[in-house]
Structure 1
Amino acid sequence: EHWGFAAGNIIEKDWYEKVDLDSGFALYTAPARHFSGRSLSRNNTLWLSYLLQTATLKIYLGGDSGYDTHFAEIGEKFGPIDLAILENGQYNKAWQYIHMHPHEVLKAAQDLKA
């Protein structure tokens, strides 16, 4: 609502919940390693990654996430994954817990069974 969306258009979900979409598509919410917000009101929303599943394909959208054990957990729950879209190219050591360095992207893909 803060960004101008009508309350009826907002769906709130926790990790590992499913949203059924049209035409046999399903969207699953999954963990990420980050935080939300940039001010004194931090962490009022949940940071997520997503898995889009069709009858024949699983696509993982990693969003904005640091490397952690959640990738292996997601791989165990949903793998194998056909395509993983992951962030890459963060080199600032101060961001290492909320963004991935290139070598971590490879490990995340392996953990996801992608």
Structure 2
Amino acid sequence: MGNSSLADANAFKAAAVAGQVGIDPDAAQTVLKKIRTGKDTVEALLAGAGALAEKPKLGDNPVGRAMAAKFEQRAEGGNDSYAAALRNLLSQYEAAEQGIVTAMAKYHEIDQAAADPFRHA
């Protein structure tokens, strides 16, 4: 599973922390609300993901047992599992949320720094 979206979210967060990005807090509220709603939804799905780890009943034969074990492993947290995908998505939401919050905080600092040369002229 690719993590380019996570890398992008982390890059945005790093740019905000470095003061390279500022976002008007009033304009960002809608985006922040949507990010938090998505994050809450993913957290709820992740909380229920363990229920998927029940071994399906595919027959009492070698193939059925092997397939059931494979499905169980994928559901419960292997690298290609539903839970792993949800954890990756949650990390993306968290990085985006932290980046937006930081960029909102930096907005006024950046605005003041841009205006300072004109005030002292």
| TM-score normalized with structure 2 length | 0.23
Larger RCO (alpha carbons 8 Å, 6+ apart):
2
| TM-score normalized with structure 1 length | 0.24
Higher strand fraction (1 or 2): 1
